[in-house]
Every structure is written in C-alpha cells, then in structure tokens.
A and B are shown apart, each in its own frame.
Chain A
Amino acid sequence: DSGVTQTPKHLITATGQRVTLRCSPRSGDLSVYWYQQSLDQGLQFLIQYYNGEERAKGNILERFSAQQFPDLHSELNLSSLELGDSALYFCASSPRDRSYNEQFFGPGTRLTVL
C-alpha cells in the first residue's frame, strides 16, 4: 500500500459526460501528479500540482482540468468525454519537488467511456 488513495476505482460513463476523479496523497506529500495510461499512448504525464498551485502541464487536453485543495487532495475533471478518453488514470505524490524524489502511485481509476 503506497498510502495514495484514488476514488472511484472504476467509472463507466457515456460520451459527452463529465466525471471527477479524486486523489488523496500520502500524508505530508505536497506534490501531486496525474498520469494517463492507455494501450496506444502508454503512460503520459498530464499535470502536476505543488502545495495547491499548478506547477507543470503535459499532454492534457483542454477538456480536462485539475486542482489541488488546501488539504492537498486533488481532483481531475474530465468533460465532454470521448471514447478515446477510456484509460487508467493514476495519481502520484511525492514529498517535495525534487528530481530524485520517488513518486508514490495510487491504484488508479479505470475510466470506460461507452
């Protein structure tokens, strides 16, 4: 158990809908990362927050957004969903913002868009 929790574990929805994925980092970790894992794209970085502020963006679509709250939990919002958004979404946390820091991954949320 990494100490990172993600809810829900599975999500099935229809095209055009909006969903929210939730992540609670390990206690004391300030940095939260979101990654998308799909068969064709592999593991791709989406976005990072550090202590409530957006730190970096990767291959994140404009239909997607995220935020980190004062209690450090984070939410990833996916809207106008398309079939291609079906994937496993991972959240990871690390203590501080350092290159050598290990990132601890949650179990993921499997999103299926029908």
Chain B
Amino acid sequence: GDSVTQMEGPVTLSEEAFLTINCTYTATGYPSLFWYVQYPGEGLQLLLKATKADDKGSNKGFEATYRKETTSFHLEKGSVQVSDSAVYFCALTPGGGSNYKLTFGKGTLLTVNP
C-alpha cells in the first residue's frame, strides 16, 4: 500500500537557519503530495501541495518540489522563525481509484530558538 517516510525529529534550529525536512513516498501511479503543519493544540493546516511531477509548492517561505524520479517531496525554508515551531507532516493522496484519503508520515517536530 501507499506509504510516506519522513525524517525523524525532533529538529532544533536557531532563528534564521536553513531548514530541510526530508520526505519520500511509495505509491502507485501519480499521487498528489502535501505538507501539513500542526501548531500546538491546533488542527492540521495545509502548508503547500503539488499535484504532478516537477511541480513546486510554496507558501510562507516554505518550498517543496515533487520529484518523481526520486519519489521525494522535501520541505525547505531559507530562514526559519520562532513562529515556525510546529509539527510538520508529509502526506499523499493516491492518483487513481476512488478513495482520496491522506496517508501521512509520522511527523517531524521543529523547534526554533531565538
């Protein structure tokens, strides 16, 4: 079945540092890929998405590129802020069939210190 593997945390960075959170996936066909963020005590919010190979999703300074050849969707940000501290989830929905449930990675806790 479909699966998502993301780097285990926690990740601790200083403000203005560069962030990479690795994510790879296993899926048949052409899944859509997502990064969701969960701030403490809140639900999940979509951060960005990409729906086909070579698409780049971007939002709030975060970027991720859909790489089909390496089945990856790594999240990057050039300069993190304290307010970026949260749990980040990589996820996919299948490209075919009729069930578009999200399959999530285990999540990566990011802590940014001032």
Contacts and interface: CB of A to CB of B under 8 A. Distances in A.
Contacts of A107: 42-43
A14 interface: no
Contact of A48 (B32, B49, B101): B101
B100 A102 contact: no
Given A99-B51, A99-B100, A105 B43 contact: yes
Nearest to B107: A42
Interface residues of B, number: 26
Contacts of A100: 32, 49, 51, 93
Main DSSP-derived SS at the B contact region? loop
Contact of A42 (B31, B46, B99, B106): B106
B88 interface: no
A58 B49 CA distance: 23
Contacts of A35: 102
B101 A58 contact: yes
B43 A99 contact: no
A75 B42 CA distance: 20
B98 A56 contact: yes
B89 interface: yes
Interface string A49-80: 00000011010000000000000000000000
A92 B32 CA distance: 17
Interface string B1-44: 00000000000000000000000000000011010100000111
Which 10 pairs between the two chains have the least Cβ-Cβ distance?
A: A56-B99, A45-B101, A43-B104, A105-B43, A100-B51, A105-B44, A107-B43, A100-B32, A99-B32, A99-B93
Given A2-B43, A43-B104, 20 more contacts: A2-B45, A42-B105, A42-B107, A43-B107, A45-B101, A45-B103, A48-B99, A56-B99, A92-B102, A94-B100, A98-B100, A99-B32, A99-B51, A99-B96, A101-B100, A102-B46, A104-B46, A105-B44, A107-B42, A107-B43
